[in-house]
């Protein structure tokens, strides 16, 4: 593939004044840097917009002014320690930029739980720009047969759900019940697909509104419950007799976390994925947790092996992300919509 020399300046979406009055402006003079020894420069074609960007714009932590961590593009330059065979390859950016590779967690292969990890759009500029620097050792190579805009949501949303569901491999069996809240969003609908189509669980999807209902059911949910106008806990108990075997809490809300223990049976599994404001703690009775033998588990993104498997499932047509494509200039408006939970499936912007 022919690779042209990158320019010195580029377009980027830049977050200013993170907090309640944040703004996102589109600039045309953001610098393009050269890759360091282990790095690669990637010309991006598109970027998914993850719900967790709300944390960045709202200032619930320190993030890079250039956010985005679901980018797809082509390698246009590599550092001195990177094989030149990477040039021209189609690659994906994930939340994990790199990890120490030396701690006990990394040595087990769980780079995405390394305490020294760096993240795309947090410690280094993200994917809402034309060119982005990657640590070549942690890039995902994209198989052929998938369009860039379909790949983007798999890099964070899909991987996060694959990682979350992997925690109950060996605990649940085909035919067991799992409740996925936030089922019509970017993560949720992919979680429903993996749970129903790959793991063969019976899925109860929770979200609100007709469009999210339709997406949840077409993704493989057996039942959809609208939390705005149904007694969800009562309905789950009726459907499952004792409660579900597990639930994945996708929304970063206190209400969703609060409801989780009432959705599962004794010895059930609660997997926390959503990222609420930092001062929101798990609202669960310690006594009930002990008496009922519940397992509560946190989960963040997933491993490279899970990423590879998920991309292959997409190539085979088993996993089919629901994507709506927007232009780059729509980025500020899209982030506002994500804050209000108004995005169905995943929003992906085309990078100019």
Least CB distance from residue 211 to Zn ion, whole Å?
22
Give the residue carrying structure tokens 């749970």.
195
| 65 versus 163: smaller Cβ distance to Zn ion | 163
Size of the site for Zn ion (CB under 5 A): 8
| 100 versus 233: smaller Cβ distance to Zn ion | 100
**Tokens for 183?**
């089922």
Could you give phi then psi for residue 53, rounded to 5 degrees? -65, -20
| Summary count for the chain: helices (H), strands (E) | 11, 17
Least CB distance from residue 70 to Zn ion, whole Å?
6
Piece in contact with Zn ion (CB under 5 A), picked from 101-109, 214-222, 250-258, 332-340: 101-109
Least CB distance from residue 95 to Zn ion, whole Å?
5
Piece in contact with Zn ion (CB under 5 A), picked from 103-111, 207-215, 244-252, 274-282: 103-111
Piece in contact with Zn ion (CB under 5 A), picked from 46-54, 172-180, 189-197, 338-346: 46-54
CB–CB of 16/302 below 8 Å? Answer: no
User: How many other CB atoms are found less than 10 A from the CB of residue 198?
Assistant: 16
Least CB distance from residue 22 to Zn ion, whole Å?
18
Angstrom distance (rounded) from CA 137 to CA 293: 40
Least CB distance from residue 277 to Zn ion, whole Å?
16
127 contacts Zn ion (rule: CB under 5 A):
no
100 contacts Zn ion (rule: CB under 5 A):
yes
What is the H or E stretch that residue 205 is in?
strand 202-207
338 contacts Zn ion (rule: CB under 5 A):
no
99 contacts Zn ion (rule: CB under 5 A):
yes
CB–CB of 75/1 below 8 Å? Answer: no
| 100 versus 280: smaller Cβ distance to Zn ion | 100
Piece in contact with Zn ion (CB under 5 A), picked from 109-117, 202-210, 263-271, 314-322: 109-117
Angstrom distance (rounded) from CA 320 to CA 305: 19
103 contacts Zn ion (rule: CB under 5 A):
yes
| Among residues 86, 106, 142, 338, the one that binds Zn ion under rule CB under 5 A | 106
Site for Zn ion in 297-336 (CB under 5 A): none
| 268 versus 302: smaller Cβ distance to Zn ion | 302
Site for Zn ion in 151-190 (CB under 5 A): 156
Could you give phi then psi for residue 141, rounded to 5 degrees? -85, 135
Least CB distance from residue 154 to Zn ion, whole Å?
11
- Those residues with Cβ within 8 angstroms of residue 262's Cβ, 6 or more apart along the chain or in another chain: 233, 236, 243
216 contacts Zn ion (rule: CB under 5 A):
no
**Tokens for 155?**
């890099």
| The residue count for the chain | 352
| 104 versus 144: smaller Cβ distance to Zn ion | 104
Least CB distance from residue 160 to Zn ion, whole Å?
7
Angstrom distance (rounded) from CA 171 to CA 301: 20
CB–CB of 58/252 below 8 Å? Answer: no
| Among residues 57, 67, 114, 246, the one that binds Zn ion under rule CB under 5 A | 114
Least CB distance from residue 289 to Zn ion, whole Å?
28
User: How many other CB atoms are found less than 10 A from the CB of residue 85?
Assistant: 9
Q: To the nearest 10°, report the CA torsion of 123, 252, 187, 298.
A: 70
Least CB distance from residue 104 to Zn ion, whole Å?
8
Radius of gyration of the chain from Cα atoms?
A: 20
Least CB distance from residue 71 to Zn ion, whole Å?
11
Maximum CA extent, the chain:
63
CB–CB of 188/310 below 8 Å? Answer: no
275 contacts Zn ion (rule: CB under 5 A):
no
Q: Which residues make up the interface to Zn ion (CB under 5 A)?
A: 50, 52, 99-100, 103, 106, 114, 156
């Amino acid at each position: 593939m022919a690779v042209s020399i990158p320019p010195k300046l580029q377009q980027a979406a830049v977050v200013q004044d993170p907090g309640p009055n944040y703004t996102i402006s589109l600039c045309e003079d953001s610098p393009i840097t050269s890759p360091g020894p282990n790095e690669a420069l990637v010309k991006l074609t598109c970027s998914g917009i993850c719900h967790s960007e709300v944390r960045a714009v709202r200032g619930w932590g320190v993030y890079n002014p250039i956010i985005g961590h679901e980018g797809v593009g082509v390698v246009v330059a590599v550092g001195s320690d990177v094989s030149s065979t990477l040039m021209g390859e189609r690659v994906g950016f994930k939340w994990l930029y790199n990890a120490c590779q030396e701690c006990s967690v990394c040595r087990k292969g769980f780079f995405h739980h390394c305490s020294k990890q760096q993240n795309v759009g947090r410690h280094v500029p993200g994917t809402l720009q034309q060119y982005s620097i990657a640590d070549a050792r942690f890039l995902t190579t994209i198989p052929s047969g998938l369009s860039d805009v379909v790949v983007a949501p798999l890099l964070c949303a899909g991987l996060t759900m694959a990682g979350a569901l992997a925690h109950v491999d060996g605990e649940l069996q085909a035919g067991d019940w799992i409740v996925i809240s936030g089922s019509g969003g970017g993560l949720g609908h992919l979680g429903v697909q993996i749970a129903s189509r790959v793991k063969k669980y019976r899925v109860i999807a929770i979200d609100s509104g007709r469009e999210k209902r339709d997406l949840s059911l077409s993704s493989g949910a057996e039942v959809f419950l609208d939390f705005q106008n149904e007694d969800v806990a009562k309905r789950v108990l009726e459907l499952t007799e004792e409660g579900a075997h597990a639930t994945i809490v996708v929304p970063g809300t206190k209400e969703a976390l609060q409801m989780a223990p009432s959705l599962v049976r004794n010895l059930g599994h609660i997997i926390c994925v959503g990222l609420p404001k930092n001062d929101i703690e798990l609202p669960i009775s310690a006594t009930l947790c002990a008496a009922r033998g519940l397992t509560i588990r946190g989960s963040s993104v997933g491993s490279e092996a899970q990423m590879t498997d998920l991309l292959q499932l997409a190539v085979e047509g088993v996993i089919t992300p629901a994507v709506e494509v927007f232009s780059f200039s729509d980025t500020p408006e899209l982030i506002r919509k994500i804050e209000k939970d108004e995005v169905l499936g995943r929003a992906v912007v085309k990078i100019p």
